[in-house]
Amino acid sequence: MASTNDLKNGLVLNLEGQLWTVVEFQHVKPGKGPAFVRTKLKHVLSGKVVDKTFNAGTKVETASVDKRNMQYLYNDGTDYVFMDGDTFDQITVTPAVVGDAAKFMLENQDAIVARHEGNVLFIELPASVVLEIQYTEPGLQGDRSTGGTKPATLETGAEIGVPLFLNTGDKVKVDTRDGSYLGRVN
């Protein structure tokens, strides 16, 4: 149990038997009436985001979530295999749990695996990753000064929009949260 005064981003709450992650919170002290805490919560399994308001000082049940840094080893055809670097234990994670993170995972890459009571809840990648462009149309000489983009397929199979001056074989930095191009890497 924790008080609403102890809320912080990333904390996992157990509300009515369901797990919710605190995405955002704000303590509000109106001029009139009692203080309250306005939160934005994300359902751990479905990804649904809701707004919820708690009275200040209210007790909320927290869930014990074990977040471990693990290494992504390989995809065995259906599931993804991760290994704990300390104990060398391997776990398999279904594609439904991995979700969109699969578009930016390379073998031997580190990721955070969150577990609750032995069940894997979600995979958290670093904010950005460096990937190589496997294929993109060549840019035209006159296109260099415009701010246009073109589709590019990355080595993981994900497709993102990149500036026209990039070519096949270039390495790019990609935001893992929304799949946007962040810059070129030499």
Chain position carrying tokens 């060398």: 88
Per-residue pLDDT tens over the stretch 127-156: 999 999 999 988 765 555 556 788 999 999
> Domain 66-124, CATH 1.10.10.410 — does that match?
no
Per-residue pLDDT tens over the stretch 48-66: 999 999 999 899 999 988 8
Q: pLDDT category, 20, cuts 50, 70, 90? A: very high
DSSP string, the chain: -EEGGG--TT-EEEETTEEEEEEEEEEE--SSS--EEEEEEEETTT--EEEEEEETT-EE-B---EEEEEEEEEE-SSSEEEEETTT--EEEE-HHHHGGGGGG--TTEEEEEEEETTEEEEEE--SEEEEEEEEEPPPPGGGTTS--EEEEEETTS-EEEEETT--TT-EEEEETTT--EEEEE-
The CATH classification of domain 128-185, taken from the options 3.65.10.10, 3.50.50.60, 2.40.50.140, 1.20.1630.10: 2.40.50.140
Per-residue model confidence (pLDDT) at position 68: 92
66-124 and 128-185 share one fold:
yes
Per-residue model confidence (pLDDT) at position 164: 85
Domain ranges in the chain are 2-60, 66-124, 128-185
Question: What's the fold here for domain 2-60?
Answer: SH3 type barrels. (2.30.30)
Strand partners, 8: none
Radius of gyration over alpha carbons of the chain, in Å? 21
